[in-house]
């Protein structure tokens, strides 16, 4: 025997039926506090330090990445010879 019940409840009604606490007020306070902290921390953030934290190697790392892409593009088109161990093309 198979019995099926269809119950149409809103999320709030289901929460109350199961006896779960209403955490929405706590979530709203936490979000407000988080927003306040983020806003205050952004005023102390130096754009130069932000870039350094995102790109720790800086221009040298970008240049190496660019050389890697150029090497891949050349080898894909057949325009480059085999690379040396130093990573520079002949």
pLDDT in tens, 27-79: 999 999 988 888 887 766 777 776 666 666 666 677 777 888 888 888 877 76
* 1, part of any domain: no
> Does the predicted TM-score (pTM) go above 0.85?
no
Residue keyed to tokens 């983020």: 38
Range of the domain at 24: 11-75
pLDDT at 89 over 60: no
Cα 75 from Cα 37, distance rounded (Å) = 49
Cα 85 from Cα 79, distance rounded (Å) = 18
The helix (run of H) or strand (run of E) holding residue 31 is: helix 24-44
- Position 42 scores a pLDDT of 72
* 19, part of any domain: yes
Tally of domains within the chain = 1
């Amino acid at each position: 025997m198979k019995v099926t019940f269809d119950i149409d409840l809103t999320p709030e009604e289901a929460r109350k039926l199961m006896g779960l606490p209403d955490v929405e007020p706590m979530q709203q306070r936490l979000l407000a506090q988080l927003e306040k902290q983020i806003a205050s921390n952004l005023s102390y953030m130096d754009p130069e330090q932000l870039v350094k934290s995102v790109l720790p190697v800086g221009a040298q790392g970008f240049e190496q990445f660019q050389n890697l892409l150029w090497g891949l593009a050349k080898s894909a088109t057949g325009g480059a010879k085999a690379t040396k161990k130093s990573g520079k093309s002949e």
